[in-house]
Amino acid sequence: MTVLVFGKTGQVASELQLLPGVVALDRAEADLSDPAACAELIYAQQPNAVINAAAYTAVDRAESEEELATCINGKAPEAMATACAELGIPFVHISTDYVFRGDGLAPWTPSCLTAPQNAYGRSKLRGEKAVQSIGGRYAILRTSWIFSAHGTNFVKTMLRLSETHSTISVVSDQIGGPTPARAIAITCYEMAERLMKDPSVAGTYHLSGFPYVSWAEFAEEVFTQAELRTTVTHIPSSDYPTPAVRPMNSRLDCQQTEQVFNLRCPDWRLSLTETLRDLDRSA
């Protein structure tokens, strides 16, 4: 099986390249600000499946660049999904919990009403709706709080800050499930394989790590496992204002993914141990 992956240096794309048959495209090869060119690459390469692991992810900058974010996160997936539907091949697209309102305490199910509160969320929802409307052998995988040994993420930021700070303030009223990029990559790959055999499983799914924690609790576990003496000060989101509104509730209900694909959501604490080990090896 040949799987064409949009994205090469990102967290999920880096993990996907460890799987067999993956051909990853970087920004120079596939410019998502040119949706038509992305579709042409699919037609030209004729892969068995396509996974879109590339996105505009600068959440705060998207507030002033919403048109560009919408092109990359909305129009490019639409072009990819159209090409895949015409070729009759699976298309797996990664999305986010930011498509929801982000309030309350209950985990969001795939069927919950979407109501993004920032430009990034709106751009991702635009892509979701386009992929859904085109149909075909598609799977949208919403996830949250991605971390790995690759790229830029919360774990690596906390480790970097600990080098110069003995105490770090982290918000404690935003709750979610940290999700290892490796688990997302494997899930996307297995979804593509399953869609090849059974198009009836097409739809929108969730994947996040468990148990749910706050960003502050996540940071504390990072320092505990890394055997660092850095102290975490719990602060409310109001003490750390950002241009884009962040969801307070990023909990995702993953039962449908587990039932349909027979997958277990990862315990992020175990994955964090692996990530820290990978970072030690690459140091």
- pLDDT one-digit tens code per residue, 100-139: 999 999 999 999 999 999 999 999 999 999 999 999 999 9
Catalytic residue among 120, 138, 189, 212: 120
pTM here?
A: 0.97
Residues of the domain holding 118: 3-152+178-209+250-267
d(CA 72, CA 150): 21
Residue 226 lies in a domain: no
Query: Residue 84: what pLDDT?
Result: 98
Residue 24 has pLDDT above 90, yes or no: yes
Residue 68 lies in a domain: yes
Query: Residue 283: what pLDDT?
Result: 67
Residue 243 has pLDDT above 70, yes or no: yes
Residue 121 lies in a domain: yes
Mean pLDDT of 188-193: 98
Residue 128 lies in a domain: yes
Q: How many domains does the chain have?
A: 1
Residue 238 lies in a domain: no
Residue 228 lies in a domain: no
Residue 178 has pLDDT above 70, yes or no: yes
CATH at 60 = 3.40.50.720
Query: Residue 281: what pLDDT?
Result: 83
Q: What's the full length of the chain, in residues?
A: 283
Residue 160 has pLDDT above 80, yes or no: yes
Residue 168 lies in a domain: no
d(CA 168, CA 60): 21
Residue 41 lies in a domain: yes
Residue 233 has pLDDT above 80, yes or no: yes
Quick check: is 120 catalytic?
yes
